[in-house]
Structure 1
Amino acid sequence: MKAIGYDNPGAVDGTGALRMFETDTPKIGPRDLLVRVKGISLNPVDVKLRAVRAPENGPDILGFDAAGEVVKTGTEVTDYKVGDEVFYAGDVTRPGTNAELQAVDERIVGRKPKSMDFVEAAGLPLTSITAWEMLFDCFRLSEGGGAGHSLLVIGGAGGVGSILIQLAKKLTNLTVIATASRPETQDWVRRMGADHVIDHRGDLVAQIGELGLAPNYVAALTATDQHWPAIIEMIAPRGHVALIDDPEGLDIAPAKPKALTISWEFMFTRSMFDTADIEVQRDLLNRVSALLDSGQLVSTVTERAQELTVETLTTAHLRQESGRVIGKQVLPGF
């Protein structure tokens, strides 16, 4: 089968960067599906891994979002059959979605929204899982909960922020404050449903003060180390911070007087460690799919390539590295 991978970590346009190659069809395990990939998307994890992770056995195939059709099932698969249309975010320890075919555990796979084509649907899984787990695993909110409390989303116009705002507004009673700095990103987060928009390039503490709010929950999606002092100052006592980025270091001692809770969200944890509740990701993806089909959630896709080639994927990586992508980028399969 065809795939796009890289041979050496480093710049996407450097030596050993993305290239097309032929490789064997993946072998599937008892709980695996073999999926013909028909749509993929880009996430920050793609560019982070490409920059630092050295391939061990030939080119490393990236890609952590896909939608496609099941072409083969493992001997113990119970939820899917050949011909089913699915979407998923995959497993960071296995070959990725930038290939014709991919093996994926059925327990982290959801049914593709019927209202979307494969390419559009590929823009939702990873960010939806991340946002859902922040709200309901990290913050331990319940659906319909959060009344009288507020959530601050730092980096609201990115992929995770775009769906997190929507999920918080549709499934909880939180007041949502989102940060965005450019007019177009501010307009975008308002479209996603944010109640208030502030500029993360300005004084966050002063802007939050003007709103008369002290966030009970903070979703730190980007530049957490830069905003850390402001987060500590403006969050409500006994508040909760959940972060997804990779700060070099955080001094958590100042969080003690307010008795804050600090959580990491990493959506690959369940698949990496085959946790007892791994199937939660299947269930939440199916719920997101139903919410999309009913119109309660909307697509976060803003950039769509017309074909999958080394050139278009390289361009997508460069766009992701720019930090200026609004929502999600998607590409078709081979």
Structure 2
Amino acid sequence: MNETLNRTMPAVAYRQSLPAQDDESLVDVELPVPQPGPHDLLVRVEAVAVNPVDYKVRQNSDPGGQPKVLGWDAAGTVVAVGDRVALFAAGDEVYYAGAIDRPGSNARFHVVDERIVGRKPTTLSFTEAAALPLTSLTAWEGLFERLGLRRDDGRRETGTLLVTAAAGGVGAMVAQLARAFTDLTVVGTASRPETGEFARRMGVTHVVDHHHPLPQQVARLAPDGLDHIFSTAGTDRNLPAYADMLKPFGGLVAIDDFGPVEIGLLKSKSISFHWELMFTRSLFRTPDMATQHHILNQVAGLVDRGVLTTTATQDLGTVNAAHLREAHRILESGRAIGKITLTGF
């Protein structure tokens, strides 16, 4: 352990906010191996996945020339633990989505608070597992905490749920969890044959094309209106349509970034609006921070029982600057299906 802690390690960082096409937008660096704090695990990272938050931070948070490591989804093996760690030991295989206010996982070794870490699904490779944490937590919290959907097998939720970008990482997990725990009809937006096919494999019942007006398409599938909407993108421009499509007392949860919107559109139907940010618990060190540990363990169990599946679709090779720049370019194009992963160093 001491030998590991005294070494340096390969990592990928950025020093200034540049377009992903620029060779300096992400660069290979050598950094000291981080030291675990009291509640931390030191993880040897075996695989990572890339999310829109990666390129959004790169674009909008200039580190002023200092190397800043991105990356949140990771899977690997614990090599050392802090003196107050109780949930894991060296040698354990884990997966997690990390914390947005700490250095990221695009490095050979990474420290992460044990309370937001789960055991890796035993039936998945590190690569397959790395695709799941951030999107699983976002989908779980959005559905069962923000929208308040029941997970009681004796009283399964019915009605209709719309999820946007249903072939994306979050949308695919929303569909899978809705299929596993509810009897909801899931309507998902997609515009290409391949994205529609992937969304259906993930559990979407009906696919609608977001390039055409949604209310008319949804009305044919849910004449009485929608009960819930999980909005992963375009919430601001779609809010009038959401207000039109939702039933009275319906619920809307959003995860995307946007400016001021006319929230009064939701008032006449008493529609509830919710934000979901997976990083809230770790960012504010909330008393229930370990809830994410328990969610990830439940997801792992569901994967190992064949109820849920990985959303990994494209592995770009080892974790290096060139491959991560390509991952950022693909995500920024808006044409990714499922999750992009990188494996090994």
TM-score range, shorter chain: over 0.9
**Deviation at 1:16?**
4.1
The 5-angstrom pairing of residues 291-302 of structure 1 reads 291-302=302-313
Q: Give the superposition deviation at 1:290.
A: 0.8
TM-score (norm 1): 0.97
Asked if 2 retains the 8 angstrom alpha-carbon contact of 1:10 and 1:52, the reply is no
Across the aligned residues of Structure 1 and Structure 2, the Cα RMSD in angstroms comes to 1.2
Q: 1:158 aligns to what?
A: 168
- Give the structure 2 partner of residue 83 of structure 1: 91
Shift of 1:68: 0.2
Q: 1:71 aligns with which of 75, 79, 97?
A: 79
Map 1:50-199 onto structure 2 (within 5 A). Answer: 50-55=58-63, 58-144=66-152, 145=155, 147-199=157-209
Whichever residue aligns with residue 5 of structure 1, its letter is A
Q: Point out 4+ residue stretches in structure 1 off by more than 4 angstroms.
A: none
Deviation string for 1:69-120 (max 9, x for gaps)?
Answer: 0000000100100000000000000000100100000000000011111111
2:42 matched to 1:34?
yes
Q: TM-score, normalised by structure 2?
A: 0.94
Q: 2:250 is matched with which residue: 239, 256, 272?
A: 239
- Cα separation, 2, equivalents of 1:146 and 1:216: 14
Query: Contact 2:317–2:344 (CA<8 Å) still a contact in 1?
Result: no
Tell me the secondary structure at the aligned position of residue 289 of structure 2.
coil
Determine if contact 1:150/1:213 at 8 Å carries over to the other structure.
no
Unaligned runs of at least 5 residues, structure 2: 1-8
User: Counterpart of 1:313?
Assistant: 324
Give per-residue Cα distances to partners, 1:170-190, cap 9 Å, x unaligned: 012222111111111111111
Pairwise CA distance, 1:64: 0.8
Structure 2: distance between partners of 1:200 and 1:223: 10
Which piece of structure 1 moves more, 42-51 or 240-249?
240-249
Alpha-carbon distance in 1 for matches of 2:344, 2:248:
48
Cα distance, 1:213 vs. partner?
4.3
Q: Provide, for residues 206-262 of structure 1, a one-character-per-residue CA deviation record: whole Å limited to 9, x for no partner.
A: 111111241111001011112111101010111111000012221101111001110
Deviation of the 1:306 alpha carbon: 2.4
Point out the more displaced range, 57-66 or 317-326.
57-66
Deviation of residue 149 (structure 1)?
A: 1.7
Which residue of the partner structure matches residue 31 of structure 2?
A: 23
Tell me, yes or no, if the aligned pair for 1:220 and 1:242 is still in contact at 8 Å: yes
- State the alpha-carbon separation in 2 of the partners of residues 264 and 217 from structure 1: 14
Greater mean alpha carbon deviation, residues 147-156 or residues 182-191: 147-156
Q: 266-275 vs 303-312, which deviates more?
A: 303-312
1:44 offset after TM fit, Å? 0.3
Which stretch has the larger CA shift, 180-189 or 126-135? 180-189
The answer to whether 1:202 aligns with 2:229 is no
Query: Which of 218, 233, 241 is the matching residue for 1:222?
Result: 233
Kept after mapping to 2: 8 A contact 1:303/1:329: yes
Q: In structure 2, how many angstroms separate the alpha carbons of the residues matched to 1:43 and 1:197?
A: 23
Secondary structure of the corresponding residue to residue 163 of structure 2: strand
- How far apart are the structure 1 equivalents of 2:35 and 2:298? 29
Letter paired with 1:214: G
Distance in 2, Cα, partners of 1:187 & 1:20: 37
Moved more, 186-195 or 43-52: 186-195
